[in-house]
Amino acid sequence: MMRLYDAYSSSFTFEVLSGNMVPVENKQHIGVMACYIASAYQRVEEMTGCKFGEGYLHHIFNPHESELELSSEMPGLALTAFKQLQPDKAFEFAAALQNKMMVDGKDLSHDAVYLELAQEFQLDPISFVESLHTEDIRDLAHAEFAMVKQLGITGFPCVLVQTDERKLYMVARGYTHYNDLKLRVDKVIEDYRIANN
C-alpha cells in the first residue's frame, strides 16, 4: 500500500478507511486462530515480503500464555482520531498501528499502545488517548465502519479507485501484488481518460 501511495499520491487524493473487520461484539482470543496462523504465516511472508515479528509470533506459538484479544474497534477509533489531527499522515499511522500488533505483538485494545503512537507522531499522548473514548470519535468511526459495509467491502485490505461522484472501482480485495495493483489502477485511469476525451 505504501508503494502505491508513493507512486500516485502526487496525482490522487488517498483516504484510509477502517472496515472494522473484527467488531468488538465478535472479539476473540488469539488462541482461536493461533493454530491456523502458525501453519500459514510463513506462506504470507513469502507472498508479501512482510515479516511477522517475534512479539506477535510469541502469541501464536504460546496462546495459553497470551491475553491478546482481536478486535478492530480501538484501532478504528485511533485511526479516526488521528485523521482529525494529521490526515496527510493517515497511511503512515495505519502502517505503524498494524506494526504494533503484527511485529511488536502489542494488544491494540490497550491505551498504552496509543500513548506510544501519539508520541511517535508528535501528538500530545494524554489528549490523544482521551479522544479515543469520546462520543464524537466513536460516532465518526462507526459512521466510517457503516460506509465501508455499505460499499460492499468484505475482504481486507481493499483498494477502491473513485473517478467521479458516482463511480467506484474495486481494484483489490485481500492481498494483491503491487504490480497487479498498479496495472489495475492504470487501467481505471486510462479508461477514465478515454471516456472523458
Domains and CATH numbers, the chain: 28-70 (no CATH), 72-150 (1.10.472.60)
Whole-number pLDDT of residue 166? 84
What gap in Å lies between CA 130 and CA 87, rounded to an integer? 19
Whole-number pLDDT of residue 113? 97
Whole-number pLDDT of residue 165? 84
Largest CA distance in the chain: 61
Whole-number pLDDT of residue 197? 82
Helix (H) or strand (E) holding 173: strand 167-173
Neighbouring C-beta atoms of residue 173, cutoff 10 Å: 15
Predicted TM-score (pTM) of this structure: 0.90
Pairing, β 167-173 against β 158-164: antiparallel
Whole-number pLDDT of residue 59? 96
**197 residues of the chain, pLDDT tens digit each:** 888 988 998 888 899 999 888 888 889 999 999 999 999 999 999 988 889 999 999 999 999 999 999 999 999 999 999 999 999 999 999 999 999 999 999 999 999 999 999 999 999 999 999 999 999 999 999 999 999 999 888 878 899 999 988 889 999 988 899 999 999 999 999 999 998 88
Residue 197 CA from chain centroid, whole number: 36
Whole-number pLDDT of residue 156? 83
The string of DSSP letters for 109-170 reads TSHHHHHHHHHHTT--HHHHHHHHTSHHHHHHHHHHHHHHHHTT--SSSEEEEEEETTEEEE
Burial class of residue 92, CB neighbours in 10 A (0-12, 13-18, 19+)? middle
